[in-house]
Structure 1
Protein backbone atom coordinates (compact mmCIF):
# COMPACT_ATOMS: atom_id res chain seq x y z
CA UNK A 1 0.00 0.00 0.00
CA UNK A 2 1.18 3.50 -0.79
CA UNK A 3 0.82 6.51 1.50
CA UNK A 4 -0.93 8.70 -1.07
CA UNK A 5 -4.59 7.96 -1.92
CA UNK A 6 -6.52 8.89 -5.05
CA UNK A 7 -10.30 8.91 -5.21
CA UNK A 8 -11.73 7.72 -8.54
CA UNK A 9 -14.94 9.09 -10.04
CA UNK A 10 -16.17 7.23 -13.12
CA UNK A 11 -18.65 9.89 -14.17
CA UNK A 12 -19.63 8.61 -17.61
CA UNK A 13 -21.15 10.90 -20.23
CA UNK A 14 -21.06 14.56 -19.19
CA UNK A 15 -20.96 17.84 -21.08
CA UNK A 16 -17.53 19.39 -21.47
CA UNK A 17 -18.68 22.58 -19.71
CA UNK A 18 -19.94 20.73 -16.63
CA UNK A 19 -16.76 18.65 -16.36
CA UNK A 20 -14.63 21.78 -16.77
CA UNK A 21 -16.54 23.60 -14.02
CA UNK A 22 -16.26 20.56 -11.74
CA UNK A 23 -12.49 20.42 -12.24
CA UNK A 24 -12.19 24.11 -11.38
CA UNK A 25 -14.17 23.50 -8.20
CA UNK A 26 -11.93 20.57 -7.21
CA UNK A 27 -8.75 22.53 -7.91
CA UNK A 28 -9.93 25.50 -5.84
CA UNK A 29 -10.82 23.21 -2.94
CA UNK A 30 -7.25 21.83 -2.98
CA UNK A 31 -5.73 25.28 -3.21
CA UNK A 32 -7.73 26.14 -0.08
CA UNK A 33 -6.91 22.83 1.63
CA UNK A 34 -3.76 21.09 0.29
CA UNK A 35 -4.41 18.02 2.46
CA UNK A 36 -7.45 16.90 0.47
CA UNK A 37 -6.97 13.61 -1.41
CA UNK A 38 -6.27 13.54 -5.13
CA UNK A 39 -9.06 12.84 -7.62
CA UNK A 40 -9.13 10.90 -10.86
CA UNK A 41 -12.11 11.73 -13.08
CA UNK A 42 -13.02 9.43 -15.96
CA UNK A 43 -15.56 10.86 -18.38
CA UNK A 44 -16.87 10.77 -21.91
CA UNK A 45 -18.02 13.92 -23.67
CA UNK A 46 -20.64 14.49 -26.36
CA UNK A 47 -18.98 15.82 -29.53
CA UNK A 48 -16.95 18.94 -28.70
CA UNK A 49 -13.84 20.74 -29.91
CA UNK A 50 -11.44 22.33 -27.45
CA UNK A 51 -8.58 24.75 -27.99
CA UNK A 52 -5.56 25.20 -25.76
CA UNK A 53 -4.72 28.61 -24.34
CA UNK A 54 -2.33 29.54 -27.13
CA UNK A 55 -3.76 27.47 -29.97
CA UNK A 56 -4.39 28.99 -33.38
CA UNK A 57 -7.64 28.98 -35.32
CA UNK A 58 -5.62 28.03 -38.41
CA UNK A 59 -5.99 24.38 -37.34
CA UNK A 60 -9.78 24.53 -37.73
CA UNK A 61 -11.02 23.37 -41.14
CA UNK A 62 -14.50 24.86 -40.68
CA UNK A 63 -15.85 28.38 -40.63
CA UNK A 64 -16.58 29.44 -37.07
CA UNK A 65 -19.32 31.78 -38.29
CA UNK A 66 -21.37 28.87 -39.62
CA UNK A 67 -20.31 26.25 -37.04
CA UNK A 68 -23.24 25.02 -34.94
CA UNK A 69 -21.42 22.56 -32.66
CA UNK A 70 -19.65 23.06 -29.35
CA UNK A 71 -16.21 24.63 -29.11
CA UNK A 72 -14.34 25.92 -26.07
CA UNK A 73 -11.05 27.72 -25.59
CA UNK A 74 -9.62 26.46 -22.32
CA UNK A 75 -6.64 27.14 -20.06
CA UNK A 76 -4.90 23.86 -20.90
CA UNK A 77 -1.79 23.62 -23.00
CA UNK A 78 -1.77 22.18 -26.49
CA UNK A 79 -3.58 22.81 -29.75
CA UNK A 80 -7.10 21.91 -30.93
CA UNK A 81 -8.55 18.47 -30.28
CA UNK A 82 -11.87 16.65 -30.50
CA UNK A 83 -13.79 14.73 -27.84
CA UNK A 84 -16.71 12.36 -28.38
CA UNK A 85 -18.39 9.26 -26.98
CA UNK A 86 -16.20 6.17 -27.06
CA UNK A 87 -13.18 8.21 -26.04
CA UNK A 88 -12.06 8.10 -22.40
CA UNK A 89 -11.11 11.54 -21.11
CA UNK A 90 -9.11 11.42 -17.89
CA UNK A 91 -8.81 14.42 -15.59
CA UNK A 92 -6.31 13.88 -12.75
CA UNK A 93 -6.60 16.47 -9.98
CA UNK A 94 -3.23 15.90 -8.31
CA UNK A 95 -1.24 17.93 -5.83
CA UNK A 96 2.26 17.65 -7.31
CA UNK A 97 3.78 18.75 -3.99
CA UNK A 98 3.29 15.08 -3.03
CA UNK A 99 4.95 13.80 -6.23
CA UNK A 100 7.44 15.88 -8.20
CA UNK A 101 7.10 19.58 -8.89
CA UNK A 102 8.14 19.05 -12.48
CA UNK A 103 5.75 19.42 -15.43
CA UNK A 104 7.94 17.40 -17.81
CA UNK A 105 7.97 14.54 -15.29
CA UNK A 106 4.17 14.75 -14.99
CA UNK A 107 3.61 14.69 -18.75
CA UNK A 108 5.92 11.70 -19.15
CA UNK A 109 4.06 9.90 -16.34
CA UNK A 110 0.73 10.42 -18.11
CA UNK A 111 2.24 9.04 -21.30
CA UNK A 112 3.61 6.06 -19.36
CA UNK A 113 0.13 5.25 -18.01
CA UNK A 114 -1.20 5.02 -21.58
CA UNK A 115 1.79 3.06 -22.90
CA UNK A 116 1.55 0.49 -20.10
CA UNK A 117 -2.23 0.25 -20.46
CA UNK A 118 -1.99 -0.45 -24.19
CA UNK A 119 0.71 -3.06 -23.57
CA UNK A 120 -1.93 -5.07 -21.70
CA UNK A 121 -3.76 -5.34 -25.01
CA UNK A 122 -0.54 -6.30 -26.81
CA UNK A 123 -0.48 -2.92 -28.51
CA UNK A 124 2.99 -1.40 -28.76
CA UNK A 125 2.69 2.34 -28.22
CA UNK A 126 5.45 4.92 -27.95
CA UNK A 127 6.43 8.56 -27.56
CA UNK A 128 7.71 10.77 -30.37
CA UNK A 129 10.55 13.06 -29.39
CA UNK A 130 9.48 16.67 -29.20
CA UNK A 131 5.75 15.87 -29.22
CA UNK A 132 3.42 15.33 -26.28
CA UNK A 133 1.06 12.35 -26.45
CA UNK A 134 1.15 8.64 -27.26
CA UNK A 135 1.44 7.05 -30.69
CA UNK A 136 1.02 3.71 -32.41
CA UNK A 137 3.31 3.86 -35.40
CA UNK A 138 2.55 7.21 -37.00
CA UNK A 139 -0.96 7.48 -35.56
CA UNK A 140 -1.89 9.30 -32.37
CA UNK A 141 -3.90 7.22 -29.90
CA UNK A 142 -3.94 9.70 -26.99
CA UNK A 143 -3.72 13.48 -26.73
CA UNK A 144 -2.51 15.27 -23.61
CA UNK A 145 -3.16 18.84 -22.47
CA UNK A 146 -2.74 20.01 -18.89
CA UNK A 147 -3.03 23.04 -16.66
CA UNK A 148 -1.22 23.34 -13.34
CA UNK A 149 -1.98 26.03 -10.78
CA UNK A 150 0.31 26.22 -7.75
CA UNK A 151 1.17 22.57 -8.50
CA UNK A 152 -2.47 21.40 -8.55
CA UNK A 153 -3.24 19.73 -11.88
CA UNK A 154 -6.33 19.81 -14.07
CA UNK A 155 -7.29 18.78 -17.60
CA UNK A 156 -5.37 15.65 -18.63
CA UNK A 157 -5.55 13.20 -21.52
CA UNK A 158 -7.98 11.72 -24.03
CA UNK A 159 -7.63 8.09 -25.11
CA UNK A 160 -9.41 6.96 -28.28
CA UNK A 161 -11.01 3.61 -27.45
CA UNK A 162 -13.94 2.91 -29.79
CA UNK A 163 -14.95 6.34 -31.02
CA UNK A 164 -16.00 7.72 -34.40
CA UNK A 165 -12.92 9.57 -35.68
CA UNK A 166 -14.77 11.57 -38.34
CA UNK A 167 -14.84 14.65 -36.09
CA UNK A 168 -11.06 14.84 -36.32
CA UNK A 169 -11.35 15.38 -40.08
CA UNK A 170 -12.56 18.93 -39.44
CA UNK A 171 -9.37 19.95 -37.64
CA UNK A 172 -5.61 19.52 -37.73
CA UNK A 173 -5.40 17.40 -34.55
CA UNK A 174 -2.97 18.95 -32.07
CA UNK A 175 -1.68 21.11 -34.92
CA UNK A 176 0.29 18.21 -36.46
CA UNK A 177 -0.34 18.04 -40.21
CA UNK A 178 1.70 15.00 -41.23
CA UNK A 179 0.14 12.43 -38.87
CA UNK A 180 -3.30 11.00 -38.18
CA UNK A 181 -5.34 9.54 -35.30
CA UNK A 182 -6.42 6.01 -34.43
CA UNK A 183 -8.40 4.04 -31.86
CA UNK A 184 -7.81 0.93 -29.76
CA UNK A 185 -10.77 -0.69 -31.56
CA UNK A 186 -8.79 -0.53 -34.81
CA UNK A 187 -6.41 -3.09 -33.28
CA UNK A 188 -8.93 -4.91 -31.07
CA UNK A 189 -12.50 -4.70 -32.47
CA UNK A 190 -13.95 -6.45 -29.40
CA UNK A 191 -12.59 -3.85 -26.99
CA UNK A 192 -14.78 -2.96 -24.00
CA UNK A 193 -14.62 0.64 -22.85
CA UNK A 194 -15.67 -0.41 -19.33
CA UNK A 195 -12.77 -2.85 -19.13
CA UNK A 196 -10.35 -0.22 -20.43
CA UNK A 197 -11.51 2.19 -17.71
CA UNK A 198 -10.90 -0.45 -15.03
CA UNK A 199 -7.44 -1.28 -16.33
CA UNK A 200 -6.63 2.41 -16.75
CA UNK A 201 -7.33 3.18 -13.10
CA UNK A 202 -5.11 0.31 -11.94
CA UNK A 203 -2.34 1.33 -14.32
CA UNK A 204 -2.54 4.96 -13.21
CA UNK A 205 -2.22 3.93 -9.57
CA UNK A 206 0.79 1.75 -10.37
CA UNK A 207 2.63 4.38 -12.42
CA UNK A 208 2.04 7.13 -9.85
CA UNK A 209 2.67 4.81 -6.86
CA UNK A 210 -0.64 5.63 -5.17
CA UNK A 211 -3.49 3.68 -3.63
CA UNK A 212 -7.06 3.79 -4.94
CA UNK A 213 -9.34 5.21 -2.28
Structure 2
Protein backbone atom coordinates (compact mmCIF):
# COMPACT_ATOMS: atom_id res chain seq x y z
CA UNK A 1 0.00 0.00 0.00
CA UNK A 2 1.43 3.38 -1.01
CA UNK A 3 1.80 6.00 1.66
CA UNK A 4 -0.27 9.16 1.33
CA UNK A 5 1.61 11.80 -0.67
CA UNK A 6 3.35 14.70 1.03
CA UNK A 7 1.28 17.81 0.26
CA UNK A 8 3.10 21.11 -0.25
CA UNK A 9 1.20 24.40 -0.57
CA UNK A 10 3.57 26.72 -2.42
CA UNK A 11 1.43 29.82 -2.94
CA UNK A 12 2.03 31.89 -6.10
CA UNK A 13 5.27 30.83 -7.78
CA UNK A 14 6.91 31.47 -11.16
CA UNK A 15 6.30 28.78 -13.75
CA UNK A 16 9.75 27.92 -15.05
CA UNK A 17 11.59 27.39 -11.73
CA UNK A 18 8.69 25.23 -10.53
CA UNK A 19 8.84 23.10 -13.67
CA UNK A 20 12.60 22.68 -13.25
CA UNK A 21 12.07 21.72 -9.61
CA UNK A 22 9.63 18.99 -10.71
CA UNK A 23 12.19 17.66 -13.18
CA UNK A 24 14.92 17.70 -10.53
CA UNK A 25 12.70 16.00 -7.95
CA UNK A 26 11.77 13.26 -10.44
CA UNK A 27 15.37 12.73 -11.60
CA UNK A 28 16.61 12.39 -8.01
CA UNK A 29 13.89 9.97 -6.85
CA UNK A 30 14.73 6.58 -5.44
CA UNK A 31 12.26 3.71 -4.93
CA UNK A 32 11.83 4.98 -1.36
CA UNK A 33 11.15 8.65 -2.16
CA UNK A 34 7.69 9.65 -0.86
CA UNK A 35 5.25 10.89 -3.48
CA UNK A 36 4.39 14.58 -3.36
CA UNK A 37 1.48 16.80 -4.41
CA UNK A 38 2.18 20.50 -4.96
CA UNK A 39 -0.69 23.01 -4.77
CA UNK A 40 0.08 26.44 -6.18
CA UNK A 41 -0.83 29.31 -8.49
CA UNK A 42 1.23 30.81 -11.32
CA UNK A 43 1.54 34.36 -12.65
CA UNK A 44 0.16 34.63 -16.22
CA UNK A 45 1.88 32.20 -18.59
CA UNK A 46 1.02 30.13 -21.67
CA UNK A 47 2.61 26.67 -21.70
CA UNK A 48 3.08 24.71 -24.90
CA UNK A 49 3.11 20.92 -24.52
CA UNK A 50 5.25 18.57 -26.56
CA UNK A 51 2.61 18.33 -29.29
CA UNK A 52 1.97 22.06 -29.06
CA UNK A 53 1.82 24.17 -32.21
CA UNK A 54 2.58 27.88 -32.08
CA UNK A 55 -0.33 28.58 -34.40
CA UNK A 56 -2.68 27.73 -31.53
CA UNK A 57 -1.48 30.98 -29.92
CA UNK A 58 -3.70 33.45 -31.78
CA UNK A 59 -2.62 36.79 -30.34
CA UNK A 60 0.30 38.35 -28.49
CA UNK A 61 -0.93 39.61 -25.13
CA UNK A 62 2.58 40.07 -23.76
CA UNK A 63 2.16 36.87 -21.75
CA UNK A 64 5.23 34.58 -21.84
CA UNK A 65 5.01 31.35 -23.85
CA UNK A 66 7.04 28.49 -22.35
CA UNK A 67 7.58 25.26 -24.37
CA UNK A 68 7.58 22.38 -21.87
CA UNK A 69 7.79 18.59 -21.66
CA UNK A 70 4.25 17.56 -20.73
CA UNK A 71 1.79 16.03 -23.14
CA UNK A 72 -0.85 18.10 -24.87
CA UNK A 73 -1.14 21.44 -26.58
CA UNK A 74 -1.27 25.02 -25.33
CA UNK A 75 -2.91 26.10 -22.10
CA UNK A 76 -3.02 29.14 -19.85
CA UNK A 77 -2.10 29.48 -16.19
CA UNK A 78 -2.82 32.57 -14.15
CA UNK A 79 -3.74 33.89 -10.70
CA UNK A 80 -6.99 32.45 -9.38
CA UNK A 81 -6.37 29.02 -10.90
CA UNK A 82 -5.68 26.06 -8.62
CA UNK A 83 -2.71 24.18 -10.10
CA UNK A 84 -1.89 20.74 -8.69
CA UNK A 85 1.30 18.92 -9.62
CA UNK A 86 1.36 15.18 -9.00
CA UNK A 87 4.82 13.72 -8.36
CA UNK A 88 3.94 10.05 -8.12
CA UNK A 89 5.75 6.73 -8.48
CA UNK A 90 3.25 4.87 -10.63
CA UNK A 91 5.17 1.59 -10.53
CA UNK A 92 4.86 1.59 -6.76
CA UNK A 93 1.17 2.50 -6.99
CA UNK A 94 0.56 -0.29 -9.48
CA UNK A 95 -1.20 1.58 -12.29
CA UNK A 96 -0.31 3.42 -15.47
CA UNK A 97 -0.92 6.82 -16.97
CA UNK A 98 -4.42 6.09 -18.34
CA UNK A 99 -5.57 5.02 -14.89
CA UNK A 100 -3.92 8.09 -13.36
CA UNK A 101 -5.72 10.40 -15.80
CA UNK A 102 -9.03 8.71 -15.00
CA UNK A 103 -8.46 9.06 -11.24
CA UNK A 104 -7.51 12.74 -11.57
CA UNK A 105 -10.58 13.51 -13.67
CA UNK A 106 -12.81 11.64 -11.23
CA UNK A 107 -11.44 13.64 -8.30
CA UNK A 108 -12.42 16.89 -10.05
CA UNK A 109 -15.85 15.50 -10.99
CA UNK A 110 -16.44 14.40 -7.38
CA UNK A 111 -15.32 17.77 -6.00
CA UNK A 112 -17.71 19.66 -8.28
CA UNK A 113 -20.53 17.22 -7.49
CA UNK A 114 -20.08 18.00 -3.78
CA UNK A 115 -20.53 21.67 -4.74
CA UNK A 116 -23.70 21.01 -6.71
CA UNK A 117 -22.21 21.10 -10.22
CA UNK A 118 -22.44 18.20 -12.66
CA UNK A 119 -19.23 17.77 -14.65
CA UNK A 120 -18.02 15.10 -17.06
CA UNK A 121 -15.16 13.78 -19.14
CA UNK A 122 -15.05 14.14 -22.91
CA UNK A 123 -13.91 11.27 -25.16
CA UNK A 124 -10.50 11.96 -26.68
CA UNK A 125 -10.06 15.31 -24.93
CA UNK A 126 -8.54 14.89 -21.44
CA UNK A 127 -9.82 17.25 -18.78
CA UNK A 128 -13.13 18.00 -17.09
CA UNK A 129 -16.06 19.84 -18.65
CA UNK A 130 -19.25 21.50 -17.44
CA UNK A 131 -21.63 21.39 -20.38
CA UNK A 132 -19.54 22.46 -23.38
CA UNK A 133 -17.05 24.47 -21.34
CA UNK A 134 -13.72 23.19 -20.01
CA UNK A 135 -13.12 23.83 -16.33
CA UNK A 136 -10.00 21.71 -15.70
CA UNK A 137 -7.04 21.00 -17.97
CA UNK A 138 -4.73 18.03 -17.55
CA UNK A 139 -1.23 17.31 -18.80
CA UNK A 140 1.36 14.84 -17.53
CA UNK A 141 4.88 13.63 -18.16
CA UNK A 142 6.00 10.14 -17.16
CA UNK A 143 9.71 9.52 -16.67
CA UNK A 144 11.10 6.22 -15.36
CA UNK A 145 7.62 5.24 -14.20
CA UNK A 146 7.10 8.49 -12.26
CA UNK A 147 4.70 11.32 -13.09
CA UNK A 148 5.04 15.08 -12.91
CA UNK A 149 3.00 18.05 -14.13
CA UNK A 150 -0.71 17.56 -13.35
CA UNK A 151 -3.89 19.59 -13.58
CA UNK A 152 -5.23 23.12 -13.45
CA UNK A 153 -8.73 23.93 -12.18
CA UNK A 154 -10.15 27.34 -13.07
CA UNK A 155 -11.49 28.89 -9.85
CA UNK A 156 -11.65 32.70 -9.76
CA UNK A 157 -9.47 34.15 -12.52
CA UNK A 158 -9.43 36.44 -15.51
CA UNK A 159 -10.49 34.13 -18.34
CA UNK A 160 -9.76 36.70 -21.08
CA UNK A 161 -6.31 35.27 -22.00
CA UNK A 162 -8.01 32.06 -23.14
CA UNK A 163 -9.41 34.05 -26.07
CA UNK A 164 -5.81 34.42 -27.34
CA UNK A 165 -5.33 30.64 -27.72
CA UNK A 166 -7.06 27.52 -28.96
CA UNK A 167 -7.30 25.87 -25.52
CA UNK A 168 -5.61 22.46 -25.66
CA UNK A 169 -5.57 22.83 -29.46
CA UNK A 170 -9.36 23.17 -29.88
CA UNK A 171 -10.48 26.28 -31.77
CA UNK A 172 -13.27 28.14 -30.05
CA UNK A 173 -13.41 25.89 -26.99
CA UNK A 174 -15.35 27.57 -24.21
CA UNK A 175 -13.84 27.73 -20.73
CA UNK A 176 -15.48 28.34 -17.39
CA UNK A 177 -14.55 28.50 -13.70
CA UNK A 178 -16.05 27.62 -10.35
CA UNK A 179 -16.89 31.26 -9.51
CA UNK A 180 -19.09 31.51 -12.62
CA UNK A 181 -20.93 28.39 -11.47
CA UNK A 182 -21.84 29.93 -8.12
CA UNK A 183 -19.17 28.13 -6.09
CA UNK A 184 -17.67 30.28 -3.34
CA UNK A 185 -13.99 30.29 -2.43
CA UNK A 186 -10.71 31.29 -4.02
CA UNK A 187 -8.00 29.17 -5.60
CA UNK A 188 -6.39 28.28 -2.27
CA UNK A 189 -9.59 27.10 -0.58
CA UNK A 190 -10.96 25.23 -3.60
CA UNK A 191 -7.47 23.86 -4.30
CA UNK A 192 -7.18 22.43 -0.80
CA UNK A 193 -10.54 20.66 -1.23
CA UNK A 194 -9.34 19.34 -4.60
CA UNK A 195 -6.14 17.98 -3.07
CA UNK A 196 -8.21 16.07 -0.49
CA UNK A 197 -10.20 14.46 -3.30
CA UNK A 198 -7.02 13.63 -5.20
CA UNK A 199 -5.35 12.01 -2.20
CA UNK A 200 -8.46 9.84 -1.75
CA UNK A 201 -8.65 9.00 -5.48
CA UNK A 202 -5.00 8.09 -5.95
Question: Which TM-score band applies after superposition, normalised by the shorter structure?
Answer: over 0.9
Shift of 1:179: 2.5
- Structure 1: how far apart are the matches of 2:40 and 2:192? 13
TM-score between the two structures when normalised by the length of structure 1:
0.90
TM-superposition CA deviations, 1:86-132 (whole Å, max 9, x none): 00111000000122342111111111111111111111110011110
Shift of 1:190: 3.0
Is 2:38 the counterpart of 1:44?
A: no
- Structure 1: how far apart are the matches of 2:63 and 2:193? 32
8 Å CA contact 2:44, 2:77 repeated in 1: yes
Is 2:153 the counterpart of 1:159?
A: yes
Is 2:10 the counterpart of 1:16?
A: no
TM-superposition CA deviations, 1:45-78 (whole Å, max 9, x none): 0000000012111211125xxx643110001001
Give structure 2 stretches of 5+ with no counterpart. Answer: none
What does residue 211 of structure 1 align with? none
**Match 2:79 to one of 76, 85, 91:** 85
CA 1:206–1:22 in structure 2 vs 1: closer, same or farther (change >3 Å)?
Answer: same
- Structure 2: how far apart are the matches of 1:79 and 1:165? 18
Shift of 1:189: 5.4
Higher mean alpha-carbon deviation, 105-114 vs 7-16, is at 105-114
What does residue 102 of structure 1 align with? 96
Is 2:168 the counterpart of 1:171?
A: no
What does residue 113 of structure 2 align with? 119
- Count of residue correspondences: 202
- Structure 2: how far apart are the matches of 1:100 and 1:157? 21
**Match 2:132 to one of 125, 128, 138:** 138
8 Å CA contact 2:134, 2:174 repeated in 1: yes
- Structure 2: how far apart are the matches of 1:172 and 1:42? 25
- Structure 1: how far apart are the matches of 2:59 and 2:2? 48
- Structure 1: how far apart are the matches of 2:160 and 2:195? 28
- Structure 2: how far apart are the matches of 1:149 and 1:101? 14
What does residue 52 of structure 2 align with? 55
8 Å CA contact 2:82, 2:154 repeated in 1: yes
TM-superposition CA deviations, 1:3-46 (whole Å, max 9, x none): 4221000001000011111111211121xx12110000011000
TM-score between the two structures when normalised by the length of structure 2:
0.95
